[in-house]
Amino acid sequence: MFVFIEVDILGSRRQPPSSYIATVVVLAAGQGKRMRSELPKVLHEVCGKPMLLHVLGAADEIAAARMVVVLGHGHAQVEPLLPPECLVALQEQQLGTGHAVLSAAGQILPGPLLVLAGDTPLITGELLRGFVDHHRRSGAVATVLTMDLPDPTGYGRVVRNGSGDLVKIVEHRDTTSAEREISEVNSGMYVLPAPLALDILTEVGSDNDQGEIYLTDVIAGLRRRGERVAACKTEDASLVLGVNSREELALAEETMAKCRRAQEPAGEQTHSGS
């Protein structure tokens, strides 16, 4: 059981966070072998800036009480580039997304916990604000950010009930023929309850075929407890897709550049094309 007692350097109990999201945890520990580079994956640049910093910029618009970045591979290269207000947690072995969040357990405040991926450079503050607002209005204990994909192969399928709440997330390898036809999939981003989510991850452990702990284990654990879990589907799946290869990095660069050009005043667009 995780117990949170925050005490400042003067010895007085810290006041509860004023913002709705108590902690944002950004998962950025992966090596990214498909990038074919010694550079940590999250440091690969999109439009001149490491993709992790794009994610942190969007997350900053949430104004959470605390921001924690989970680092692993190449952390000594990543850490100096982080904004000074970010706390760092180290995941020395990459044993799943749930294990990554557990690595940050000592820095997670009680209250709503927003978990993001550090390799999604197209994520926006507007999308995250909408996601958090959807969670707040739903009254559910947790919310999963989802998306529709024309080809959902390899992604966990989102199964809803008649009320629209999430019943379960089924990994592709475990889907039935009917579930395989579902186009709504898990983005890997969540609003979770702390410390309950950490308690569930601790109970799950890593005694499974993969020897890893995943955040989908939290969703399953909440459902077993009879808790409501909501699903919030983004209209633009490209904003939450992760970058795992050179090809996907080039696509993210092209998409971001096109978006920026579209946002330029008409006069600037004309000038840049002359």
Q: Yes or no: say if 215 and 97 are a contact pair by the CB < 8 Å rule.
A: yes
Compute CA distances 86 → 28, 81, 96, 228, 230, whole Å: 13, 10, 22, 31, 28
List C-alpha distances in Å: 240 to 85, 145, 234. Answer: 24, 9, 8
Residue found under tokens 């629209």: 164
By C-alpha distance, which of 241, 260, 261 is closest to 251? Answer: 241
CA distances to 52, 128, 228, 272 from 30, rounded to whole Å, are 12, 22, 31, 38
Indicate if 34 belongs to the active site. yes
Question: Cβ distance 180 to 245 under 8 Å?
Answer: no
- Which residue in the list 34, 225, 260, 261 is annotated as catalytic? 34
Contact (Cβ atoms closer than 8 angstroms) between residue 151 and residue 85? no
Active-site residues, by number, are 34
